[in-house]
Amino acid sequence: METDELIELRGHHLRKLGEVYWQGYPDKELTPLQIKVYDCLNELVEHPEQKIILIDTTSDVLCKMCKSRTKLLNGDSEYINEKSCSDKGDAYVAELIGLKLGQTYSIKEILVAIDQNKDNRDFLPLEKAS
């Protein structure tokens, strides 16, 4: 996946990136969408120099995979159902690990920030923190 293109990632998806970084794929059965998401995040982890811009309220590389996207009746344009993902606290999650929306980071920089917050129970759901 490493590319010269800047990849957009919503702030709240940093939690899932941390999960993939620390634990890899879960031991449970995954839906096809979950597999795509884990594959994408795993690709990012494997390419530490990839540049990411943290965003909010818009469709990122993961949101674009979601089935809540529906085609409009006219033409090829697509509508993103923002409600499915919009109340997840993009700025809040990014700030928990010292990152800011609108800023560009390498995956390596993001993973360092995530690693420094592995015990932060606000960043990780309680069942994930150890």
pLDDT for the residue numbered 68: 54
- Taking the alpha carbons at both ends of the chain, their separation in whole angstroms is 30
How far is 22 from 47, CA to CA, in rounded Å?
15
pLDDT for the residue numbered 81: 46
Integer angstrom CA distances of residue 75 from 17, 64, 69, 70, 80: 34, 18, 15, 12, 15
pLDDT for the residue numbered 110: 97
Give the chain's residues under pLDDT 50: 70-83, 126-130
Element spanning 35, H or E: helix 32-45
Would the pTM of this model clear 0.75, i.e. be above it? yes
3-state secondary structure of 128: coil
pLDDT for the residue numbered 118: 80
pLDDT for the residue numbered 122: 82
pLDDT for the residue numbered 87: 53
Per the DSSP assignment, residues forming a β-bridge with 106 are 51
pLDDT for the residue numbered 128: 44
pLDDT for the residue numbered 86: 54
pLDDT for the residue numbered 42: 94
pLDDT for the residue numbered 71: 41
